[in-house]
Each structure stands twice: as structure tokens, then as C-alpha cells.
Amino acid sequence: MRKNALVILVVLIFLLTGCTISINNERDTPGITNGNISGAADDNAPGSPTDTTLQDPTESTPDESAGSPDGSAGSDEALYDGMDKVKIECADSFITDVYSSIIMDEKDNFKEAKYSIIQGKDGTKYTAELRYDSKDYIYYFKVHDESGKNLMSLTTSASYYGDVFEVLDLNMDGYADIKLLTAEGTMNCVYDFFLWDAAAQKFTKAVCDEELLFAEMEVHEDHLQLWGRNSGSSGVITKYKWEGNKLLKISEEEYHADDADAGADTDPDAGADADTGGISGWRFTKDDIKINGKTILGISYEQLLQAFGQPVETKTYKINPPTAGPDYFEYIYVCVYNGFECEIYIGDDEKTPEPADSVFRFDITSPDARLDCELYIGIDTDELDLRYGINKFYRLNEAESYDLNNIKHVLESYKPEGYYSGYEKAAIVYHDFNSFEEPLAKALVLLFDDDTDSVERIVFGYPTAN
């Protein structure tokens, strides 16, 4: 079996479907989208989803599903053997332990996840379970206390399991709480916060006078800071303080990526290298390259069909890897949709992808598809400069430079010869290294229509071989 650089790329990208739980909102954790919460106090608080109890029709009784990750009672540490363990830092140096087990089916697609959570402050234990019904494309999420009492139930349809649930100390009281995504948006998402009430031994929904709609979040000792995006380079920073289980707004201000005094406390994208292809303080994040609000990079072929439906066209092209002999070829499967096309590596046999094969590259081809950072087909050079600080443009036939070499690598590596031969002008945008788990370099190459001086195609790829 021949090995090549593309196989390494695919393996690394597939790691995007992994999950972690952390104190900050920088890494995704297993969860659910577009769901309705029930079984917790204050379900009718402002900013909460509709109060609808949605139960799993195949749900087992609490005694069968709670008490430990495998449904049995007991507190022996041996129960957690084989489970991943993450330590959640809470206030006053308390550490909450989260044990998790992700179960995949025979085709290596997500089936269910089980969690055991032990509060560091008082040792309280509870369990959570996320299950996927592949027949109806429905996720079920449940939380039980140690005795098996149901604390929370939720059901939803979602394209990907790994985006929306995080365990962290939201109100800095030493106890770990739960943050759940309830609605996805193109730039921002709606969340509900559930605070652990130690006295009542249950989760209580946080109350806020407005919808908690944001892209990034930081928890501070005396306040909660949320960033809402208006565009890829500007938005609103809102600070809240806690009063019991209620969030009270204490300030609100706009931010812009090119502000002279922009810093880590005012701009979630501040600190990026300004000398990167004309980008002033902005690099794209994992959320920025969602298409019409849906994750595309790293999802499986099965998830692609669930999220976007059947492609309007499919095609396959073969590549002769540069390190291989002249008679050896590998194949890329292309799914064409209205507004974009995406690529799946299928190896040295020309075939339909397996359900678990993952998307590793994509192009935006028309205004029907938009990246969530609001780069779109038709945006012109003036607006690119105004909104993103993108003002360095390259002719593909000019003298070599660092950026131009990276552009050519994105356009030519593992592509049919002349695939983008109709274009002469390009720009490049690099990724935010802090937003992706794996170190592989990524970029968006913008290809221009010379007559209108506007973007005609956006290509996501890998600018270096490293």
C-alpha cells in the first residue's frame, strides 16, 4: 500500500470529529442542536426555547440508564476504566471530573456517548447520555442524578454530534454547570445555561432578559463576557454579572478587528499576525468556514448527506501523486451542490465513498452558499479591504513569493492539471491556529473575476505540505 501526503491530511482532518470538554468556549464538546429543554426549573424564562417535553419513545426507565456509565450502581473507580477523563477547573480550585465514552457503530459512525460527572466541591455524581437514532436522524440527550432521577431530557435533529455541549463553571461558585446550544446561526448561536443548584440537587435554567446569542464566551471571576459577531471582523461585546441564577447586563460595546486598541479583552480575533496576505487582525476559525450555518470540514459522507441532501452531481478525478510511479493513481470523489462542491478522498479504487469517509476540501462556487464569516461570491476588493483588511492581491503568473507559493499549492496539490486555469488573480486568508485542534496549515484562496474585480470562487485547501 503506497503512502502519501494526502492520506496524512485525511487522517488529521478526521480528528476534527473528536471531542473535548474545556473551561473555555474554544473547543467543541458532544452535544445537540436545535433542541427543546424540559425537566429543569425555569423552563419559561426569557430567552429559553419552547417548553416542550420530548421523550425518547424507546427510553429505558431511570433505574436502568442512570447511576453509572454502564447503567449499574456504585462508586468504585473501576467503573470508569476505559473511559476518557477530563478535569474541569472550577472556582476556588475545585476540580470536577468528567468521564466519557464515545461509542461508534460498525461503520465507525457516532452511535452514543455516555458521561459520568463528579462535582469536585462536594462529590455529587450524575450521568449524561447522548444517543443517535440513525433511522430518524434524531439525537436524545438525558441527565440523571445518582439515584436515577431524570434531571433533564432533550431531543433534536442535528447534522453533527460534536458541537454543542460543554461542562464548565459558569457562575464561578465552584460547581460545574452545563452550556447547551439550542439554535445554530450563521455568525452566532443561541445557548441556554443550566446552573447546578447544590441545595436542591438539580440543574436550574439561567434567566436572562434577552436571548443569549453569541459566537465566543469567556468566564471571569466577576462577570461573563460574550462576543456577538456582526461580520467576520466586527461585532458586539456584552458583559453580564450573576445575581442568583439571573444574568444582568452591565455593559455593551462594539468592536472592530482593525481598532488601534483592539486586544484580547475586546476582540476575540485580536492578536493574529497582521502580515499574512493583507489580513489585518483576522484569520478564519472553524466556525467561520461552516457553510450556511452547517459544518462541512471533517464530516463523514453519511453526515454530508444528512446535512445537505443528495448532491445535484457527482464526479471523480484521478491523481498521479508526485512521489508515485507513472502508472499509479488515486481518486477524489466530488459532491456538487448548489453553491458549493466538496471533496472526499477514496483511495486507489474508483468507487462511491464509504459512509465514514470524510470531507477534506471544498469550494464555494456561487452566492447560493455562504461561509459563516460572510465571505461570499460577488464580494469586491473594496469591501474585502473594508471588512477584513484583505488588500494584497496576486497575479498567478507573477514572480514567486511566500503567499503566492501557498496559493499555488492550494490550487494545484492533488488537483487535476489546469483545474483553475481560468483565473489570473487571487488572495489568500490563513486560519486561526488556536481554533483548530490539529496543527495542519489551512487557507482560503479567493479567485477573482478580472472584469468585475470581485470574488468568483473560494477554495479551501492546505497551503503547505507540512
Q: What are the grid coordinates assigned to 190, written together?
A: 443561541
Please indicate, yes or no, if residue 25 is contained in any of the structural domains: no
- Model confidence over 359-398: pLDDT tens digits? 999 999 999 999 999 899 999 999 998 888 888 899 998 8
More confident residue, 268 or 142: 142
Are 286 and 153 contained in the same domain? no
- Model confidence over 315-348: pLDDT tens digits? 999 988 766 778 889 999 999 999 999 999 998 8
- Return all residues near 15 (Cβ < 8 A) that are at least 6 apart: 298, 437, 438
Measured distance CA(273)–CA(257) in Å, rounded: 12
Q: Is the pLDDT of residue 403 over 60?
A: yes
Backbone angles phi, psi at 434, to 5 degrees: -75, -10
Residues 50-85 as b or e (16 or more Cβ within 10 Å = b): eeeeeebeebeebeebbbbbeeeeeeeeebbeebee
DSSP secondary structure letters along 116-179? EEE-TTT--EEEEEEEEETTTTEEEEEEEETT--EEEEEEE--S-SSSSEEEE-SSSSSS-EEE
Are 179 and 244 contained in the same domain? no
Are 186 and 244 contained in the same domain? no
When mean pLDDT is compared across 134-143, 148-157, 445-454, the lowest value belongs to: 134-143
Are 244 and 342 contained in the same domain? no
More confident residue, 159 or 179: 179
Specify whether the CB–CB gap between 363 and 411 falls below 8 A. Answer: no
Q: Among candidates 117, 163, 173, 146, which has minimal Cα distance to 286?
A: 163
Measured distance CA(392)–CA(166) in Å, rounded: 39
Task: Please give the C-alpha separations between residue 330 and each of 58, 261, 348, 351, 422, in angstroms, as whole numbers.
Answer: 44, 50, 4, 11, 25
pLDDT at residue number 257: 58
Pairing relationship of beta strands 125-133 and 138-145 according to DSSP bridges: antiparallel
Specify whether the CB–CB gap between 169 and 24 falls below 8 A. Answer: no
Are 227 and 288 contained in the same domain? no
Percent of the chain with pLDDT over 90: 44
Are 124 and 252 contained in the same domain? no
Residue appearing with cell numbers 484583505: 390
When mean pLDDT is compared across 77-86, 111-120, 341-350, the lowest value belongs to: 77-86
Backbone angles phi, psi at 341, to 5 degrees: -135, 150
User: Considering its fold, how many domains does the chain have in total?
Assistant: 3
Q: What are the grid coordinates assigned to 180, written together?
A: 447547551
Please indicate, yes or no, if residue 344 is contained in any of the structural domains: yes
Q: Which of 248, 271, 294 is the last residue of a domain?
A: 271
Q: What is the rounded average pLDDT of the residues 150-160?
A: 74
Identify the H or E element spanning 448: strand 443-449
More confident residue, 27 or 92: 92
- Model confidence over 6-24: pLDDT tens digits? 444 444 444 343 333 333 3
The edge-to-edge listing of strands for the beta sheet with 125-133 is 36-38, 150-156, 138-145, 125-133, 110-118, 95-104, 84-89
Instruction: Indicate the DSSP class of residue 442.
Output: -
Q: Is the pLDDT of residue 177 over 70?
A: yes
Number of H helices, E strands in the chain: 5, 25
Are 223 and 336 contained in the same domain? no
Please indicate, yes or no, if residue 84 is contained in any of the structural domains: yes
Please indicate, yes or no, if residue 332 is contained in any of the structural domains: yes
Q: What are the grid coordinates assigned to 169, written together?
A: 463553571
Are 400 and 415 contained in the same domain? yes
More confident residue, 199 or 61: 199
Are 262 and 287 contained in the same domain? no
pLDDT at residue number 432: 82
Q: How many CA atoms lie within 13 A of 93 on its CB side?
A: 0
Please indicate, yes or no, if residue 20 is contained in any of the structural domains: no
Reported as a pLDDT band with limits 50, 70 and 90, residue 275 is very low
Q: What is the rounded average pLDDT of the residues 200-215?
A: 91
Whole-structure pTM value: 0.47
Please indicate, yes or no, if residue 21 is contained in any of the structural domains: no
pLDDT at residue number 173: 95
**In one letter, which amino acid is 122?**
D
Task: Please give the C-alpha separations between residue 161 and each of 16, 116, 131, 181, 376, in angstroms, as whole numbers.
Answer: 12, 18, 9, 11, 27
Largest CA distance in the chain: 71
pLDDT at residue number 437: 72
Pairing relationship of beta strands 224-229 and 394-395 according to DSSP bridges: unpaired
Q: List the domain range (segments joined by +) for residue 126.
A: 31-213
Reported as a pLDDT band with limits 50, 70 and 90, residue 456 is very high
Reported as a pLDDT band with limits 50, 70 and 90, residue 232 is low
Specify whether the CB–CB gap between 402 and 380 falls below 8 A. Answer: no
Please indicate, yes or no, if residue 22 is contained in any of the structural domains: no
Q: Which of 226, 242, 271 is the last residue of a domain?
A: 271
Measured distance CA(363)–CA(159) in Å, rounded: 20
Are 220 and 187 contained in the same domain? no
Please indicate, yes or no, if residue 23 is contained in any of the structural domains: no
On average, the pLDDT of the chain sits at: 77
Reported as a pLDDT band with limits 50, 70 and 90, residue 160 is low
Would you tell me how many other CB atoms lie within 10 Å of the CB of residue 101? 15
